[in-house]
Amino acid sequence: MAQVVLVDPENGGLDAMLAGLLTSAVEKPEKAKVLDAMNGTVTITVPDAEVEVGLRFGNGVCQVYPSAIPGSKVRITMPSETLMGFSMIPLMYGMPSVLTPEGRAFTTMVLTRKVRIGGLRHLKLITQLNTLLSVV
């Protein structure tokens, strides 16, 4: 059964926020299935807030760390404001939909390298993560 574990509950920053979002997500059976199928590591970096979070997926569990996971398969870097708005971007096939203004704005940020995504060859993991974080 899909489960989200906040590794350091005392930290209470972005790690707790993401854990809260993911926990709410996996209460829905269709998103729990997504988490059950995920495998790999993701590090999210927010330079303007000087915060990093690591996500480790496997065996139906997501462990949320208050720091980067060295050697993460996927590395996402984006400003705090973009990250907070990311969950509200409509998705198409698990990626921000360029058919919407929000999706186009996000794509522009990727193209101008204000948002950087490393490990694109792990596209499945990226689309699964996007799906879990979406609240639209």
Partner 1 sequence: MPVFPSEEWLDEFVEKINGSAEYADAAATWEGDLVFVYEKEPDKGVDEDVFAWLDLWHGKCRDAARLDGPDDPRATSAKFTITAPYSRWKSVLKKELDPVKGMMQGKIKVKGDLPTIVRYVKASNVLVDLTSTVDTQFIDEVPAG
Distance set, CA 39 to CA 51, 65, 102 (Å): 23, 16, 28
Subset of 99-128 contacting partner 1 (CB under 8 A)? none
Q: Applying CB under 8 A, which of residues 51, 62, 64, 69 lies at the interface with partner 1?
A: 51
Number of H helices and E strands in the chain, helices first, is: 5, 8
Q: Does 90 bind partner 1 (CB under 8 A)?
A: no
Q: Applying CB under 8 A, which of residues 33, 37, 48, 114 lies at the interface with partner 1?
A: 48
Q: Applying CB under 8 A, which of residues 37, 58, 81, 116 lies at the interface with partner 1?
A: 81
Q: Applying CB under 8 A, which of residues 67, 87, 107, 127 lies at the interface with partner 1?
A: 87
Question: Which residue type does 68 have?
Answer: A
53-71 burial, b if ≥16 CB within 10 A, otherwise e? bbbbbeebebbbbbebbee
Smaller CB separation from partner 1, 22 or 74: 22
Question: Which residue type does 112 have?
Answer: T
Strands of the sheet containing 116-118, edge to edge, are 3-6, 61-65, 51-58, 40-46, 74-77, 116-118
Least distance between partner 1 and beta carbon 133 (Å):
9
Least distance between partner 1 and beta carbon 15 (Å):
8
Least distance between partner 1 and beta carbon 5 (Å):
16
Euclidean distance between CA atoms 130 and 125, whole angstroms: 9
* Residues of this chain that bind partner 1 (CB under 8 A): 11-14, 16-17, 20-21, 24-25, 46, 48-51, 80-81, 83-85, 87-88, 135
